[in-house]
Amino acid sequence: MYTITKEVYFCYGHRLMNHAGKCRHLHGHSVKAAISIRQATLNEQSMVCDFADIRTCVEDFIDKQLDHNFLLHKDDPIIPALIANNERFMALDEHPTAEVLSKMLYQYIKASGFNVAEVVLWETASAYACYRED
């Protein structure tokens, strides 16, 4: 089995409602997502796929949905204030954790036709979450 990995970078803001620590406050992250694609055989160019194809797949999704966006739980009480001030945000059914974002990216890339092995989302230089379907 062959595996390749493409890294993409973006920034987002969020908070985790009812979190016991400081993550309950609005804050932001500059993240790295490592997207791994696997194939049992190589294509006619001796590749799993072109790295640029992975970037092209996720670039528009990240720009429109995640990059420089506030990611909030749908019940977050700050949402009406954001609406009133015409601020950008995305309301999620789940809390906007690194785990949830890695799964969101995985599912989007899989639905786009790639054989995704895993998506690892580095929230900080020393902390990451990974989603894969074994």
pLDDT tens digits for range 69-82? 999 999 999 999 99
Which of 108, 119, 133, 123 has its CA nearest to residue 56?
Answer: 108
Which of 100, 124, 118, 116 has its CA nearest to residue 53?
Answer: 116
- The 10s digit of each residue's pLDDT in 1-52 is 999 999 999 999 999 999 999 999 999 999 999 999 999 999 999 999 999 9
Q: Model-level pTM?
A: 0.94
H helices present in the chain, as ranges: 51-61, 79-84, 98-111
Q: Are 90 and 72 in contact (CB under 8 A)?
A: yes
Which of the four pLDDT bands, split at 50, 70 and 90, describes residue 134? confident
> Under DSSP, is residue 59 helix (H, G, I), strand (E, B) or coil?
helix
Architecture per CATH, domain 7-131, reads as 2-Layer Sandwich (3.30)
Q: How many helices (H) and strands (E) does the chain have?
A: 3, 6
Q: Are 31 and 123 in contact (CB under 8 A)?
A: yes
